[in-house]
Structure 1
Amino acid sequence: MIHIKAFYNTLPELENKELSKIHNEIFDTNESLNDKFLSKNKIIILVAYKESTIVGYKIGYEIDCSTFYSWLGGVEKNNRNHGIAQMLMDKQISILKSKGYEKIQTKTFNKWKSMLILNIKNDFQIKNCYPDKNDLAIILEKDLK
């Protein structure tokens, strides 16, 4: 059974350590997620647990009082294709609507096809594309009203 817990602005040390590990595996980097939060406003961190094990996350922050940016997220590779990313997105959208946000924006890359498809299936609209390093960055937006 998957359950999702929301944290605001920072993570407890255990969650930071586990999420940083998953994040670093997905994005091939070596960084602490809490360190990335320092310059962001009104951060919402959603953590997906399978029993007591962290299997995924979705992190975003406020751009302005009406717009939220869905920034980072992923599901641990052995737990993909079980609807966890969809559960995280549904929870994030529910929280944002309850807080009065009017739209949500995100950016993905052509190489993350499953994320692009998930966004499009959830009524995100492509707003812009541009070359970024060796890939194509794709900006998407969803109206929450």
Structure 2
Amino acid sequence: MEPITYSFLPELPAAGPIREGLLALLSAALESPTAELESDLAYHQQRAPLHLWLALADEQVIGCKVGYERKPGHYYSWLGGVDNRFRGRSIARTLMQQQHGWCQQQGYHRIRTQTYNRWRAMLLLNLREGFDIVGTVQGAHGLAIVLEKQLQYQL
């Protein structure tokens, strides 16, 4: 079993193996064409910096969380996934916890995300990590479940 390392990037790389690995991982995990993901990433990157939390094995991207600021104090956890070969090793949970810890340090007090019922493992992880279902919206793959989490601060 390869050792897994975790890293944070304050912005999406313009090119290179990390960007290519991220696109390949997200394309497989989200069942979306790479060109569509590339377009979505470019669009969002123009609006606000995209932050990346990565899990790497042998310098290959095997897991990720991508997010950005929605508005002051509110963060959006946008995209994420784990390579099928590495599932069941708490990689998604570790990336989520790292993202939430960073958000707390940056002064965010609420995180929002969306998922679909078809990705039940992510839905259940969100619920276990303290998210509440706050609604639904029509998404690209049907009805999306909207979840929010209030971040707790240590006094």
Pairwise same-fold verdict (TM > 0.5) = yes
Pick one of 2, 5, 8 that aligns with 2:4: 2
For the 8 Å contact 2:66–2:80, the answer to whether it is kept is yes
- The alpha carbon displacement at 1:30 in A equals 1.9
- Aligned identity (percent) is 28
Task: Report the Cα distance in structure 1 between the residues aligned to 2:8 and 2:141, rounded to whole angstroms.
Answer: 34
Structure 1 gap ranges (5+): none
Task: Report the Cα distance in structure 2 between the residues aligned to 1:13 and 1:37, rounded to whole angstroms.
Answer: 19
Structure 2 gap ranges (5+): none
Q: Does 1:94 align with 2:95?
A: no
Pick one of 8, 18, 22 that aligns with 1:19: 22
Cα 1:102–1:116 change in 2 (3 A) is same
Task: Tell me the secondary structure at the aligned position of residue 48 of structure 2.
Answer: coil
Task: Tell me the secondary structure at the aligned position of residue 34 of structure 2.
Answer: coil
Which residue is 2:61 aligned to? Answer: 54
Task: Tell me the secondary structure at the aligned position of residue 22 of structure 2.
Answer: helix
TM-score by length of 1: 0.91
TM-score by length of 2: 0.85
May I ask how many residue pairs the two structures share in their alignment? 145
- Provide the aligned C-alpha RMSD in A: 1.7
Cα 1:76–1:65 change in 2 (3 A) is same
Task: Tell me the secondary structure at the aligned position of residue 42 of structure 2.
Answer: helix
For the 8 Å contact 2:30–2:81, the answer to whether it is kept is no
